[in-house]
Amino acid sequence: MKNTIIQDQGSVQVQEIERIEIELLLEAIYRYYGYDFRNYAQSFLQRRILHRVRNENLKSVSALQEKLLRNPEIMKRLFSDLSINVTEMFRDPAFFQSFRKNIVPFVKDYPDIRIWHVGCSTGEEVYSMAILLHEEGIYEKAKIWATDINPKTLEQAKKGTFSLANMQLYTKNYMEAGGIRAFSEYYKVVGEQVVFHPFLQKNIMFAEHNLVTDSSFNEFDIIICRNVLIYFNKSLQNDVHQLFYESLSLSGFIGLGKREGIRFTSHGNCYEEIDSTEKLYRKYK
């Protein structure tokens, strides 16, 4: 009995030490490399950092900190650990269907449609949006700013080239999302790669943007930020929502990830629900 208590206390202490180490590491990263991960979700940080510690064959977070400050390569690796680039074309097809049904009719008559795709990752969802807008006949007047913190994934996104491996899933997604043409009209297979038609890139601007440190850069009619805020803690989430609020025109739309929500954020009362399951909201005050 006594032993387990001591062990428990020990593990509590280890946890506490680890927490401090992580905080220090983040502070160090911020001060040296300028990346601000301090307000990311605690458990996520812990998992990813420990994952890196293991992969580097180190014993502690402090050891990682030591190496990381001296070796930018390790920072790069941690950085890619921390930027999760899980995405699909027409990810959560119901979202795109709902977008078609509930938002397109509103914006159809706008002279121009400005869309900010936050955390675009390797660009699959941006291209999906471009295809959707094209099919709705409004891509010509749309402008999509696709931003991400990670320049590497942005480079990939700019290519508009994706692996052949996922195309079967993407085709299914496209159909479920209410696609009105043949998905194969938009791409061409070149070896193991699928090249999307260059016209889809015409109105997309890829740019680096850090939600934590950068401010609003335009006023948008639609903001899409799916599965980005889940990596942040509450206070950062609220800061980002403030940023979105400032960047969204009155009666502009915002789309979040399937498991996210706007209700419990600092600006929850400024939005009305358009589709509660697909997390589409409209700013009304």
Partner 1 sequence: MKFTTKLYASIGFILLLISISVVILMNMLEQSIVKMNVVVNELYERIDIASEIKYETANIGREFREATADPENGNNREALNAWEESNLKIKQGIESLKELDTQEKSLDLMEQYTTLHDSYQDMVQQVMVWQKMDGKVDSQAVMVDEIKLTRNRMLQTAQLLLGLQEQEMKNELLRSRDTYNWAVTSIYIYLAISLSLGIGLIIWIIRSMTKNLNKVTTVMNSAGNSNGNDLPRIEIVSNDEIGSIAAAFNAMVSELEAHSKLEKHLLEEAEEHGWLKTKIAEIATMYPEAKDIQMLGESFISKLVPIVDASFGVFYLKSENEAQPYLKRIAAYAFSNQFKASEGFYIGEGLVGQCALEKQAILLTQVPEDYISIRSGTGEGSPRNIIILPVQLEGEVLAVIEIASFHAFTSSQVKLLEEINSTLGMAINSMLNHMRAERLLQESQALTEELQVQSEELQLQQEELRTTNEKLEEQYTASEQKKKELEKVREALEEKAQQLEISSQYKSEFLANMSHELRTPLNSLLILARILSENEEGNLSKKQEEYTRTIYTSGNDLLLLINDILDLAKIESGKLEVISKEVDLYDVQDYLSKQFSPIASQKDIQFNVQLEPNVSNYLYTDEQCLKQILKNLLSNAFKFTESGSVSLQVRKVRTEYIEKQMPVSTQAEYMLAFSVIDTGIGVPTEKQRVIFDAFKQADGTTSRKYGGTGLGLSISREMASVLGGFIELTSEVGKGSNFTLYLPILQSSEILEANSYIEEAAAGLEYEDYSLNEKSEVDDEGSRINEEGKSSLKHKKVLIVDDDIRNVYALTIALEKYEMDIIVAENGREGIEMLQGNPDTDIVLMDIMMPEMDGFEAMRRIRQLPKYQTLPIIALTAKAMKQSREECLDAGATDYISKPIDIDQLFSLMHVWLYRKEG
Furthest CA-CA distance within the chain: 73
Check binding of 161 to partner 1 (CB under 8 A): no
Query: Contacts with partner 1 in 34-93 (CB under 8 A)?
Result: 41, 43-44, 47-48, 51, 84-86
Check binding of 198 to partner 1 (CB under 8 A): yes
Binding test (CB under 8 A) with partner 1, winner from 79, 90, 127, 186:
186
Counting every residue written for the chain, the total comes to 285
Burial of 263 (0-12, 13-18, 19+ CB in 10 A): exposed
**How many residues of this chain interact with partner 1, rule: CB under 8 A?**
44
Asked whether 223 and 107 are in contact (CB, 8 A), the reply is no
Rank residues 194 and 240 by Cβ distance to partner 1 and give the closer one. 194
Check binding of 266 to partner 1 (CB under 8 A): no
Interaction pattern, residues 241-260, with partner 1; x per rule: CB under 8 A: ----------------xxxx
Collapsing DSSP to helix, strand or coil, 213 comes out as coil
Q: What is the DSSP letter of 40?
A: B
Check binding of 212 to partner 1 (CB under 8 A): no
Shortest CB 188 distance to partner 1, Å: 5
Name the segment binding partner 1 (CB under 8 A); options: 149-157, 189-197, 215-223, 272-280: 189-197
The answer for residues whose C-beta is within 8 angstroms of residue 37's C-beta and 6 or more apart is: 26, 29, 30, 45, 82, 212
Binding test (CB under 8 A) with partner 1, winner from 12, 14, 190, 207:
190
Binding test (CB under 8 A) with partner 1, winner from 46, 60, 171, 216:
171
Cα 197 to Cα 81, 134, 160, 207, 260, distances in angstroms: 31, 12, 8, 20, 32
Rounded to whole angstroms, the Cα distance separating 277 from 259 reads 9
Our CA dihedral for 102, 105, 108, 114, rounded to 10 degrees, sits at -20
Binding test (CB under 8 A) with partner 1, winner from 37, 90, 187, 271:
187
Binding test (CB under 8 A) with partner 1, winner from 231, 244, 253, 271:
231
* Angle between helices 72-82 and 2-33 in degrees, nearest 10: 110
Shortest CB 190 distance to partner 1, Å: 6
Name the segment binding partner 1 (CB under 8 A); options: 109-117, 125-133, 176-184, 213-221: 176-184
Collapsing DSSP to helix, strand or coil, 223 comes out as strand
Q: For tokens 């996922």, what's the residue?
A: 166
Query: Cα–chain-centroid distance for residue 61?
Result: 26
Binding test (CB under 8 A) with partner 1, winner from 12, 14, 182, 205:
182
Shortest CB 195 distance to partner 1, Å: 7
Residues that bind partner 1 (CB under 8 A): 41, 43-44, 47-48, 51, 84-86, 164-165, 167-168, 171, 175, 180-192, 194-195, 197-199, 227, 229-231, 257-261, 263-264
